[in-house]
Amino acid sequence: MKRILDVKISPIQFFRQVRQEVKKITWPTRKEVTQVTTVVLIIVALAAAFFFMVDVVLAWAVKLVLGLGA
């Protein structure tokens, strides 16, 4: 029984198929890339601020519990 993985094609044929598949891709516009990048940067900044605040509160709580001052 022939498996799909056993099919061999020439390197030239492979790159032709790759080129055909790349032509089918719908690439995002510059505006879409800019918008999505902005959203990602905002979310990363918010997450960083949130985890910084959690770290500060937990550090304060640990110092308070261990009697190291507050």
pLDDT in tens, 40-63: 999 999 999 999 999 999 999 999
- Calpha distance 67→54 (Å, rounded): 20
Kindly state whether residue 2 falls inside one of the protein's structural domains: no
Q: Show the domain range for 66.
A: 29-70
Kindly state whether residue 3 falls inside one of the protein's structural domains: no
Kindly state whether residue 36 falls inside one of the protein's structural domains: yes
What's the predicted TM-score (pTM) here? 0.63
Could you tell me which of 35, 37, 57, 34 has the C-alpha nearest to residue 45? 37
Structure token digits, residue 33: 């890339």
- CB of 63 within 8 A of CB of 70? yes
Kindly state whether residue 33 falls inside one of the protein's structural domains: yes
Beta carbons within 8 Å of 36's beta carbon, 6+ residues apart: 28
> Is pLDDT of 2 > 60?
no
| Domain count along the chain | 1
Distances (CA, A) of 51 to 21, 31, 60, 63: 42, 30, 14, 18
